[in-house]
Amino acid sequence: MKKTIYILIILTTLLGCEDVIDVDVPSGKQRLVIDASFECYLDEDPVDIEGGVKLTLSAPFFNQDIPTVSDATVFITNLTTNSVIHFTESTESGFYIPDSTTFVMEFDTTYQLTVVYNNETFIATAQLIPTVPIDNVVQGNNTLFDDETEIIIFFTDNGTRNDFYLFDFDFSLFLASEDRFYQGETFNFSYFYEDMVNGRNVTIKILGIDERYYNYANLLIEQSEQEGGNPFQIPPALLRGNIINTTNIDNFALGYFNISEANRFDFTIKK
């Protein structure tokens, strides 16, 4: 009986304790984060270029607000012609878009991104990476556990090169793939939406990426599955990309500069 009373007293004490406990989470040095991704839809007329340069500062893990950067100089240089496209901040804080409406990127050309911030210069280079079209998207009937929605994506790999792809399934859902096991073949695979998407219009994209960005994307996607959220916004951990600080090499930036040829397929999921 005494043991029962003691247990009840302990439980009552624990349940009545509502003090707020501050957890001291270690935070590293604040760094510039550069998210510079461009999607080039060369199969569309007129050619559509989507993307821009998002500049933010890294923040402690539990911070809800991510500080944006509005006082930077941003431009991209075509290293073949030395032509320069300047970027200005859009209505979205920290998001820079090209001044020119005729900004079109070409294959076999190296482009250099330059960001000047806080008297330091950050650069990265990238080339336009080709992709293949999406042949078809259909809805399947299979599930993994209970009520997932299956879609099946069909495409044909280019057998003359080693390809790496990034699939965008809308709703900030991504999958990286390489053609090692389906080189030059017509291939299909299933993707399962966990949340209810019945009756929703979705846009499926296939982006061409290089091997280094493929490895980077896989790590980001793995981290986002653990932490939640869009993997291509703010890296949840210290993950180096291809950005170099030419002023102070130790004060490196996070993020990546990537240029992808892209193809998209609009699809309505049946109820």
pLDDT at position 99 is: 94
pLDDT at position 225 is: 66
Between the alpha carbon of residue 50 and those of residues 47, 96, 132, 177, 238, the distances in Å are 10, 12, 18, 22, 27
Domain positions in the chain: 32-131+230-262
pLDDT along the chain (271 residues), means of 10: 37 42 54 96 94 90 78 98 97 96 91 98 98 97 88 98 97 95 97 89 97 94 65 61 96 96 96 75
pLDDT at position 17 is: 45
- Can you give the pTM of this predicted structure? 0.85
